[in-house]
Structure 1
């Protein structure tokens, strides 16, 4: 495997306001390959934005190392000499890392064109070349007809498109999206996520997607890390995390993103689940890839005499792979039930017992 474009190793970030110690990021290591859309998800205060700001040293780590494109921007280890890129060299490195934010950060007194042009203020290119580039970027984000308007005349989605065009002005290899869709309505959020996916595919742009919404990760990310209290709870491919989550917080995020939490809550109140008989289990089955083509329910009955009453089912495509979820009541002999659950595990089906003797 090629070297990662971003490598964060053992990152710690500690603040001491008024003598109180706050561990915002604790021993986090993440590798991002070129061309990834890497989602970092967590609730407010998880430390995800603080972590990502160490990539371009907008936030200096207390300890750890930051490598971008194989170059060490920061390194501070216990009992070792520290290293940090500074001054003009750091400015040059930052130009290759674009950033977009929740609140757009546009200059209200400047037009759309002037806002994007502002990012090229220190470029040595001629003014005509700069303006041509701005026009190309506005066309890319579908805002050519808004060049002479001011931010106050734009919708939230249009403002974010201006911010994206501005972030792309210096031809970055990395784009950091820090809660960039949080202030947008669902339809506009989908449009912005689609644009980020388009930039990723067409320009091989590496995207760091910081969000508290697993739905955004599900939509476009190929990898994900889940953070809580400054630590990474788990990380991996989006497909693996969605089909085999281990941390309770991850399960909570996924249930919300797939609407499974609503289905479980509603079905749990039904008579069928409220009055489970002995030997019955209320369970969630999650499966992906080839397992979606197997007659699992039929096999449970044929081989083990286990009857599966399907109460809810959903199949969607995640990273070009089919992922299915079923809420079922499993009924049958206890010994056969154990064998049936082992069979499902052997078929790469994740089983979450929600209610019953094995819960």
Structure 2
């Protein structure tokens, strides 16, 4: 079994403000394996950023255990809590790069100088540092901007500088804390593509902190959904998208796949609003090699259930086709029951949105 590069066990983070206790993180356990792109998704205030700041002890937990690369950083069962010396912690933090929503660049320094700033405590020689900066700027496709200042760059270019700076000390882990939130959709996709490239080429472990499930869908292989400081559910991106359990997760997925708009529009049509007795309005979600036609054809051939497709959507997640259909199903009570059971047996997730399953 692979040892996780990051292991957070039963993490609590509690603040006291004006005699009021705030539980920012509640009993969260997450394991991140080397090479993962692990998405942590939730709305503002969910506790995402507080949780990931516990990884490098920028936020010391109230309870739990933090283990990074097999080394215990914090153990709430110990009398002293923090298990690592300050100097060693500074060294370990250099192997955990961080990028943020607002870039945090030094405006009075050039692009090259911003990247070089991260190397000020590096043992590299001046020439080696210069070569390293050039290599990083080429990696993020900003070699021609090295002498420009942040004010001369677009938002996407600024984030690329921030990524180059975060990679300066050859980190094994990169934490992206809402790094695409201030960017337009096209630029967001470019930054996500860059992160995906870094993960693939350097086996860089990435924690993607975001309120946008679209970003998770694009590059993450695992995801945890947070609300009010707690993890509602976690698993592979494919499992979460095809078998979401929590209402918030379903909401995120509907938004990410534009199903929310389609569902609202279709639910308001006459065919759904005035659904006759004996018909069902349902959502079918499937993954793998199944296609719309065999599913629908099989319902009719085997159970005499007619399926009227009102909406269809297909995504590719981690190389696997994931489809979703909004359908009205018509048939006998026995045929509908047997047909829906058959779909479930084939690994199709069936959600009855209107009507009653016999």
TM-score (norm 2): 0.98
State the shift of 1:358 in Å.
Answer: 3.8
Write the mapping of 1:216-235 to structure 2, written as runs, cut at 5 A: 216-235=215-234
Structure 2, unpaired ranges of 5+:
none
Corresponding residue of 2:326: 327
Corresponding residue of 1:8: 8
Distance 1:201 1:116, change over 3 A: same
Matches of 2:82 and 2:178 in 1, distance apart?
Answer: 30
State the shift of 1:125 in Å.
Answer: 1.2
Q: Is the 8 A contact 1:291 1:349 kept in 2?
A: no
Q: How many residues align?
A: 358
Corresponding residue of 1:158: 157
Answer with 58-67 or 336-345: which moved more. 336-345
Q: Is the 8 A contact 1:177 1:210 kept in 2?
A: yes
Helix, strand or coil for the counterpart of 1:348?
coil
Corresponding residue of 1:74: 74
Deviations 1:278-331 (A, max 9, x none): 011111100000333871111111111111001111112110001111110001
Do residues 40 (structure 1) and 24 (structure 2) align? no
Matches of 1:286 and 1:2 in 2, distance apart?
Answer: 31
Matches of 1:57 and 1:83 in 2, distance apart?
Answer: 8
Corresponding residue of 1:343: 342
Answer with 328-337 or 197-206: which moved more. 328-337
Deviations 1:219-276 (A, max 9, x none): 0000000000000000000000000000000000000000011111111111111110
State the shift of 1:84 in Å.
Answer: 2.5
Corresponding residue of 2:118: 119
Matches of 1:108 and 1:86 in 2, distance apart?
Answer: 33
State the shift of 1:86 in Å.
Answer: 3.0
Matches of 2:320 and 2:291 in 1, distance apart?
Answer: 10
State the shift of 1:335 in Å.
Answer: 2.1
Corresponding residue of 2:295: 296
Matches of 1:43 and 1:94 in 2, distance apart?
Answer: 27
Do residues 251 (structure 1) and 245 (structure 2) align? no
Do residues 133 (structure 1) and 132 (structure 2) align? yes
Do residues 50 (structure 1) and 50 (structure 2) align? yes
Corresponding residue of 1:142: 141
Corresponding residue of 2:276: 277
Corresponding residue of 2:172: 173
Corresponding residue of 2:88: 89
State the shift of 1:176 in Å.
Answer: 0.1
Q: Is the 8 A contact 1:292 1:323 kept in 2?
A: no
Write the mapping of 1:178-257 to structure 2, written as runs, cut at 5 A: 178-257=177-256
Corresponding residue of 1:99: 98
Helix, strand or coil for the counterpart of 1:82?
coil
Q: Is the 8 A contact 1:284 1:354 kept in 2?
A: yes
Matches of 2:155 and 2:255 in 1, distance apart?
Answer: 25
TM-score (norm 1): 0.98
Matches of 2:200 and 2:238 in 1, distance apart?
Answer: 19
Matches of 1:137 and 1:310 in 2, distance apart?
Answer: 50
Matches of 1:31 and 1:115 in 2, distance apart?
Answer: 33
Helix, strand or coil for the counterpart of 1:329?
strand
Matches of 1:84 and 1:186 in 2, distance apart?
Answer: 42
